[in-house]
């Protein structure tokens, strides 16, 4: 059977599946593949046997003749010789029939694989993961038809609500605002469905509202940390949402006061903020507040054995053990700051089997993320190999179904004209930036010039042009893989940084500091950096610009504005060491756009002595 690909429009989502199925079956019937989707275990044995080539038949008959010895003439009468010859011919025919049946089975199996590939070529690659679990064209077709035509609108709201957990130093009002939005959307949609199905039945409507009440309690309980819900909650059969929320809020207030006393005790023990550099990952990761370093400072035996010092050592050891990313297996950052995990959630390609730890928020590209340098495949997100040896990538390249959005960091995919930006796009001059240091004016003249087709190439695969460029219908029909679309894989140079990109990179670092995740995500969103840029690559390029004198050394973050400092001083007097509450309230008022809770904590530690001195002097003046 010749290689065939679906020529009609692809199925994008489930809303248009009813009209699409009719056109697909008509196209499949034109190439003789429709019965593989409508008849279970369909096998056209007679047609397959007729498709065995003459040369193959001659080879089968020759082998069968050679495997049966000739009948000797000596010692046999003419009638005996005739019967022996007929028996030998019967055995030869049986061997030929068995070989032809085996060959027909192989042809039928190849036709079924061709039907599967035909179906996959007719749907968007987002369906491939759903259909991959089914075996055979008939099962895949049934799975496709069983997909609901209308998506459930409340599922995204449920996922958002389940991802929200209360922070250890967050006030209840801020937490309630974050949870109420998605929780109300989810519960209201469920209750509305129940009321609509009740058709005016009063008992059913009351039951639907009761279910909504229990769902609100469930989502609120899910957002609480371990230890907040004891057996008393399980023993109480009837909980109203208002009473449940009021009781948890009272417990949270007591818990927050206890933690505040512990923070004050830890600060009295001699604490300060410190950093640990993610050497294995090539990025900066800010750790928790560490305490007195007993290895570097001499200390008496009494001080080293005191209860306060022992508590400090235990806390320091525990804080070090907490840093581990269950997604990329790095020991230098956590899941909440993993760049690969943020990309996986954005593209909806989270690795199968991964479970986000309880209480860990979903990382966003706008956060200060860490990109690990450990072995990691950015295509299938496996930690056991890299992109260059990914078997799934090779299979998808051959079948023409490379995942949309794949950045191709190793430059393996052969660029096509559709993946190369036009000269007009590549020669656009950057917008004037008054905040950039004067040395930036030398960038355009000092950096090596780069041609548009060499340096600014978008290596993301384009499905439509990819299919058209790699289609070949004249392959040998005897080849078992004759209908597999093959795209050659070649080594290619990484995308060079153009002068315009360097210009914008320096401007972004001046504004956002060394928050490389935020720098790259802002640059990609504003289309001043290529989509394939990563935080690690941006950091290395900026280091090269600093060495050549075109940029200043990056600071941890941009300088605090006077308005931010005034807000910090006011809220620190209000909240004390509850830095998460300070950060949440500041972001609600438009402050701390590119900062983290750790930045707030460090700034307060550096400024609180000056604030105390200023307050004392103003008191006695």
User: What tokens were used for 223?
Assistant: 């957002």
Number of residues in the chain:
621
Separation between Cα atoms, residue 24 and residue 36, nearest integer Å: 13
**Least confident stretch, 207-216, 342-351, 423-432:** 423-432
Give 22: exposed, middle or buried? Use CB within 10 Å, 0-12, 13-18, 19+: exposed
pLDDT value at residue 122:
86
Please tell me the distance from the alpha carbon of residue 206 to that of residue 200, in angstroms, as a whole number.
11
DSSP per-residue letters across 74-87: TT--HHHHHHHHHH
First to last CA, the chain: 96
Alpha-carbon torsion 527, 531, 532, 536, what sign? positive
Q: Map 348-407 to HEC letters.
A: CCCCCCCCCCCCCCCCCCCCCCECCCCCCCCCCCCCCCCHHHCHHHHHHHHHCCCCCCCC
Q: Is the pTM of this model over 0.85?
A: no
Distance CA 371, CA 200 (A): 55
What is the per-residue pLDDT across 302-334, written as a single tens digit (0 to 9) for each?
444 555 556 666 665 555 456 789 999 888 888
Q: Provide the greatest CA pair distance for the chain.
A: 140
* In the predicted structure, residue 430 carries a pLDDT above the cut 50: no
Question: For 457-515, where are the alpha helices, taking DSSP H only?
Answer: 463-470, 499-512
> Domain spans of the chain?
14-145, 152-271, 375-547, 562-620
- Evaluated on CA atoms 13, 16, 18, 23, the torsion sign reads negative
Please report, rounded to a whole number, the percentage of residues in the chain having pLDDT higher than 70.
Answer: 71
Reported as a single tens digit per residue, the pLDDT across 198-256 is 777 888 888 988 888 889 888 988 888 877 776 456 555 566 888 888 888 888 888 77
CA–CA separation, 220 and 228 (whole Å): 11
- Report pLDDT digits (tens) over 434-470: 444 444 444 444 444 443 333 333 333 343 444 433 3
| DSSP-assigned states of every residue in 286-317 | --PPB---TTTS---HHHHTSHHHHHHHHHHH
> From CA 496, how far away is CA 454, in angstroms rounded?
8
């Amino acid at each position: 059977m010749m290689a065939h690909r679906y020529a009609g429009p692809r199925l994008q989502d489930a809303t248009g599946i009813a009209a699409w199925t009719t056109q697909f079956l008509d196209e499949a019937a034109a190439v003789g593949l429709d019965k593989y989707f409508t008849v279970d275990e369909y096998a056209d044995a007679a047609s397959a046997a007729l498709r065995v080539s003459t040369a193959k038949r001659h080879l089968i008959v020759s082998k069968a003749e050679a495997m049966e010895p000739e009948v000797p003439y000596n010692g046999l009468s003419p009638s005996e010789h005739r019967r022996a010859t007929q028996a030998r011919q019967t055995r030869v025919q049986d061997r030929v029939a068995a070989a032809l049946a085996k060959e027909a089975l192989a042809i039928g199996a190849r036709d079924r694989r061709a039907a599967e590939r035909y179906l996959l070529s007719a749907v968007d690659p987002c369906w491939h993961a759903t259909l991959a679990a089914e075996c055979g064209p008939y099962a895949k077709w049934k799975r496709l038809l069983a997909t609901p035509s209308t998506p459930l609108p409340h599922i995204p709201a449920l996922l958002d609500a389940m991802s929200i957990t209360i922070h250890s130093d967050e006030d209840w009002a801020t937490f309630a605002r974050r949870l109420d939005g998605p929780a109300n959307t989810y519960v209201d949609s469920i209750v509305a469905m129940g009321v609509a199905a009740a058709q005016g039945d009063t008992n059913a409507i009351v039951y639907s509202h009761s279910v909504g009440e229990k769902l609100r309690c469930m989502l609120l309980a899910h957002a609480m940390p371990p230890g907040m819900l004891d057996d008393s909650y399980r023993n109480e059969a009837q909980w109203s949402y208002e009473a449940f929320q009021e009781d948890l809020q009272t417990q949270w207030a007591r818990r927050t006061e206890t933690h505040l006393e512990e923070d004050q005790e830890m600060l009295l023990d001699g604490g300060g903020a410190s950093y640990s550099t993610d050497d294995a990952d090539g990025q900066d990761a800010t750790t928790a507040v560490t305490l007195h370093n007993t290895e570097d400072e001499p200390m008496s035996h009494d001080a080293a054995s005191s209860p306060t010092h022992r508590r400090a050592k235990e806390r320091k050891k525990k804080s070090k053990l907490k840093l581990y990313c269950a997604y990329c297996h790095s020991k230098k950052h956590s899941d909440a700051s993993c760049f690969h995990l943020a990309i996986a959630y954005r593209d909806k390609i989270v690795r199968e089997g991964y479970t986000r730890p309880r209480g860990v928020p979903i990382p966003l590209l706008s956060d200060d993320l860490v990109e690990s340098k450990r072995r990691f495949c950015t295509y299938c997100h496996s930690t056991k190999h890299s992109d260059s040896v990914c078997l799934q990538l090779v299979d998808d390249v051959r079948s023409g179904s490379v995942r949309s959005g794949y950045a191709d960091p190793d430059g393996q995919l052969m660029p096509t004209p559709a993946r190369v930006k036009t000269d007009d796009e590549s020669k656009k001059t950057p917008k004037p930036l008054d905040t950039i240091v004067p040395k930036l004016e030398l960038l355009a003249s000092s950096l090596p010039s780069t041609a548009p087709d060499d340096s600014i190439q978008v290596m993301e695969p384009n499905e439509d042009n990819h299919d058209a460029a790699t289609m070949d219908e004249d392959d040998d029909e005897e080849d078992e893989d004759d209908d597999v679309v093959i795209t050659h894989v070649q080594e290619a140079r990484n995308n060079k940084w153009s002068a315009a990109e360097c210009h914008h990179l320096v401007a972004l670092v001046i504004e956002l500091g060394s928050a490389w995740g935020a720098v790259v995500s802002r640059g990609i969103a504003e289309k001043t950096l290529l989509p394939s840029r990563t935080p690690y690559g941006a950091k290395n390029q900026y280091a090269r610009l600093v060495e050549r004198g075109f940029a200043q050394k990056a600071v941890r973050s941009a300088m605090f504005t006077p308005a931010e400092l005034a807000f910090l001083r006011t809220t620190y007097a209000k909240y004390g060491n509850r830095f998460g509450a300070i950060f949440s309230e500041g972001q609600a008022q438009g402050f701390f756009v590119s900062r983290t809770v750790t930045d707030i904590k460090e700034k307060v530690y550096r400024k609180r002595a000056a604030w105390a001195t200023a307050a004392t002097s103003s008191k006695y003046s």
